[in-house]
Structure formats: C-alpha cells, structure tokens
Structure 1
C-alpha cells in the first residue's frame, strides 16, 4: 500500500468556503491513469490535479487534470491552485513555473500580496485563441433552460472558442437571465449526439455584461464530464477574454476583464482574465486569481 499526500485549496477567492475547490496531489508518482480518475471521482470536485516529474528537466512538472469523469488537456483553476500549492511548499519558490500539460506548456506566474506573501497565481493559456463552429441558438437555449430570445447575438453568435480547452461561449441578455439558467442534461446529450464537433467536449459558458464591457458575470455547465455547474472556470474565462478582445475595435488591444462566477452556487469567485491582440499576431490570454488553503490529508492506495 502506498500513501499520497494531498492539499485542497479554494481558487479565485480570498475567503474560505468561496471560489472553486481544488484537490492537488503534489507528488503523484506511481499512480496509474485509472487510479487518478478514481481519485478525482472520489473527491467529486470540478477538477483534481496530479503533479508528476517533467518529461523535459528544463520544466518544473508535468501536471495532469481530471474531472470526475474525464482527463482534460488544460484548465485554469487547477493551474492557479497547483502553482499556489507548489510555491507555498518551497522555501525559495521561482517567480514562475512551467508545467507540461496535454494542451502544451503552461506558464504559471506566482502572485504575492503587498506583504510579499504568496496569494495566488496568473496562468498564461497554452494556445492562442481558436474559433470553431457556431452553435444553434435554440440548442444553447434548451441546454440552459432558457428561451432563444434570452440569448444575445448583438456581439457574436454562440461559438466554440478555445485557448487550450474548447467551450461553447454565449452571451445572455442580462444578469437576471443568467441567474435563471438551469442545465438540461437531455439537451446536452442531444447536442453532443447530433453535432460532431460537440461529441467529446460540450462545455457551455454563459456570460452577461454587468456595468460595462469589462465587468461580467458568468456560469459554466459541463454535465457530460461530470460537472453540472462550475464555481469558477479559468480556461473558459480566458477563452471569453480572448474572444471579446478579438472583436474589440483596433489592431493593438490589451484588455482586462473582471469576471464574477459561482454567485448562484453560493461560492462567489473573482477572476481577472486578460487578452492581447496585435495586427501581426494571434490573440493570447491569461487568467489570474487568489487562493486560500483549506485541507490537507493522506490517501492510501
């Protein structure tokens, strides 16, 4: 029997019992794929991360991320939380970590508060913005338990966007409409069955503008991978920031979005998502937030 230490943290929050919970296994050497998946299912959090030795010694770690039902190539809150946990374990942590992940190399910058205490992390998405298919408005509405008229197309149609993990991103008419959204599992299954591009990853990220273009509230539903609703989704909000920045007027644009998530779940989260576009290059995104330690323990396998 082998013992594995784990730590849980709240991500994208400065208060206990808020944000998105994450379990981190700082030394997962020896765990099989099946054991990692079983552990993630046992914790039943949006994601659980497992830290392994890097394939390239110039990098800091290989990080694998599992939802309760599947491994995913990249996610924001596991990287923010894993960077925070690893930095706090070291006497002299680096300014940034480089993690090897399914979507590519992920750079995680360690954040400190005014007292120079480690308080969170900023993650650079591993890929530039890519856009895929437009998704029918009526399907998005059915999946969210809303009417088609609740979906706003003033700025863009519902569309698959990714900076490492794909999400269907759609704007809704108001924060009140967003609060009324309820995921419909049958509609998600129907969409995945009939639209080939959604068959493996049908993750729906809804957002509404609050006061202006840069202050948003969001909700993310991914019931097909075991996440009915996520309290804070870094990868989705990084993709959202990249998408909105790509649509902003001008060739050289650098925008920062303050995004609330988890409000309806009673787990308020605060996410800073930023994106930059130039006339010469792709749209790149980062996502940042604070973390708080919660629990630690040992799992025997």
Structure 2
C-alpha cells in the first residue's frame, strides 16, 4: 500500500467545504477488495472510490465504490467526483465525455465547461425502474412524523437507477426538518424492502432559486444522513417524471440537500420520458480540496 495517491473533492458543492466529500485513490490496481474496504472505513466518508485501471478498458476506466461498510455497484457523487479526478490528474486535458466502468455497468459523465467558472459535470444514469409501494403509516413511524404530513397525491415507492431508494413525498419543509429516524422501525422496515435507504423531499426550500429540498438517510450503509446523493436524486428525477409531479413528463430542476447537517449541496436534475423509458441526468460542481499519499 505504500505510495498510494489520493485526492479529496467536494461533489455537488456550492462552495469549498460544502457538498459531499469523496476520497479518490488513483493507483489502486494492486489493492484487494479487503484492502479497499479497510481504507474506505479509515477514510470514513460516505463513499471512497478506487481507480483500478488508469488506461482505458472498453473506452472507460475501471472504478470501484465503497462505503465504510460495503461495496456499492453504483453511487452518484462518487461517479462525478472520480470523473473529475480522472480528467484533471490522469487524462490531464479537457474532454467532453468520460466513461466509468462500474459494477452496475458503464456510466457516461459529460463535462459542461461552456462557462469555465461554473464547470458542471453530468452523469446519465440507468433508466429508472419502479417497485414496491409502501404504507404511509409505517413510513411516518420510521421518520417520527404524522402520516398527514406525507403528500398522499403521490406514492411512497421503491425506485432504482442502479441502487434502489424509498422515495417519500412530504408537504412542507418544516416536516422535512423535524425528521429524526427511529432506527428500530427503520431496520424493521428495510427487512421487507430491496431499498435500504430513504429519500424524503418537499417543494419548499431554503433558497428561493431551488425547486425541491431533499434529505437522504442510509444507516444500513453506515451513513446516518448523506449531504448529497446523486444516485438517490436520479431515482427522484425518474419519480418526478413518472408521476408528473410538476405537471409534465419532463423536468429541469435544482435540488438542495444537506442543509440540515451543515453541508449545503446543489444537484441539478434533468429527466424526460422517451418512448417507454425515462432518461435521467444528474449534474453538479466538483471542487478539489486536498491531495496526498497513504503511507
């Protein structure tokens, strides 16, 4: 493990030291999965990524993603953050598209640098799939809110673009802010679901220019609350289109997350129903914070 280079970036950031932290290890080809898991636990961010091929394989770069507890087939902010590091530190030139070979499959990331001061990275996620619809009373118990605070016009549902999430529509920001997860009820619930994490959202926001406020809870993965979750928001984007939340089957919205844990984040969601599938893109800014070496 000596000489293992790493970079720390903030993903979906609104400024330095906001968004979701990510550690990226760029010369990880010789690490075993067990070593990767140990390092991810030591770093203790919501996710850590390992680039296992600095040369292209099938036109992309092999990348593995670990939480402090387990490996994931896909996650949003690690995808964008790793693509950013690949461009800046491996490719070392501006490219319009970078392909990441993840366990879920190949995920394209595009770089929108029309305005260099506001460079934005976008990932196209797998088409969303829609699964079990859940009971409002059970979810209310988990979140320690009243079931009347849930927007009954829309379902509470498991949605996946590679990793499933339980999507919960709430009516007000006040309800979102008051959530304190009942861990016993949470673990009881996820024994009956494929999704192990919960995304709650509402149409009231801290910032007037944003369209939705979101919180994501992932205790099963060792992450009580995530400050910015690209995979979950990809599921949300598909959900918003599927149920015409904004009155149409196409969205282009700004989502704020992480305000309740003092890591304000901004995620950009674009989605549209095309034929029978929904095309989902999630974007945001990445900011370099640090680089170094594990010894």
Q: Same fold, TM exceeding 0.5?
A: yes
1:260 aligned onto 2:260: no
* 1:269–1:252 CA distance, 2 compared to 1 (3 A): closer
CA positional deviation for 1:138: 2.1
CA positional deviation for 1:2: 2.9
* 1:148–1:254 CA distance, 2 compared to 1 (3 A): closer
* 1:253–1:189 CA distance, 2 compared to 1 (3 A): closer
CA positional deviation for 1:75: 0.9
Aligned to 1:27: 27
Deviations 1:72-95 (A, max 9, x none): 111111111111111112332321
1:297 aligned onto 2:292: yes
Cα distance in 2 for partners of 1:45, 1:2 equals: 21
Which one of the candidate residues 231, 234, 238 is aligned to 1:238? Answer: 234
Secondary structure of 1:39's match?
helix
Which one of the candidate residues 285, 289, 301 is aligned to 2:280? Answer: 285
1:183 aligned onto 2:181: yes
Question: How many residues get paired?
Answer: 291
Aligned to 1:146: 145
With normalisation by structure 1, the TM-score equals 0.90
Task: Could you list the structure 1 runs, at least 4 aligned residues long, displaced by more than 4 angstroms after superposition.
Answer: 249-252
Contact 2:118 2:285 in 1 (8 A): no
Aligned to 2:97: 96
CA positional deviation for 1:139: 2.2
CA positional deviation for 1:284: 1.5
State the superposition RMSD in angstroms.
2.2
The runs of 5 or more residues in structure 2 that have no matched partner are none
Contact 1:54 1:60 in 2 (8 A): no
Deviations 1:163-185 (A, max 9, x none): 11100000112011101111222
* 1:118–1:94 CA distance, 2 compared to 1 (3 A): farther
The runs of 5 or more residues in structure 1 that have no matched partner are none
CA positional deviation for 1:14: 3.5
* 1:298–1:56 CA distance, 2 compared to 1 (3 A): closer
* 1:135–1:46 CA distance, 2 compared to 1 (3 A): same
Which one of the candidate residues 197, 201, 208 is aligned to 1:203? Answer: 197
Cα distance in 2 for partners of 1:120, 1:19 equals: 14
Q: Equivalent residues in 2 for 1:65-104 (5 A)?
A: 65-89=65-89, 90-104=91-105
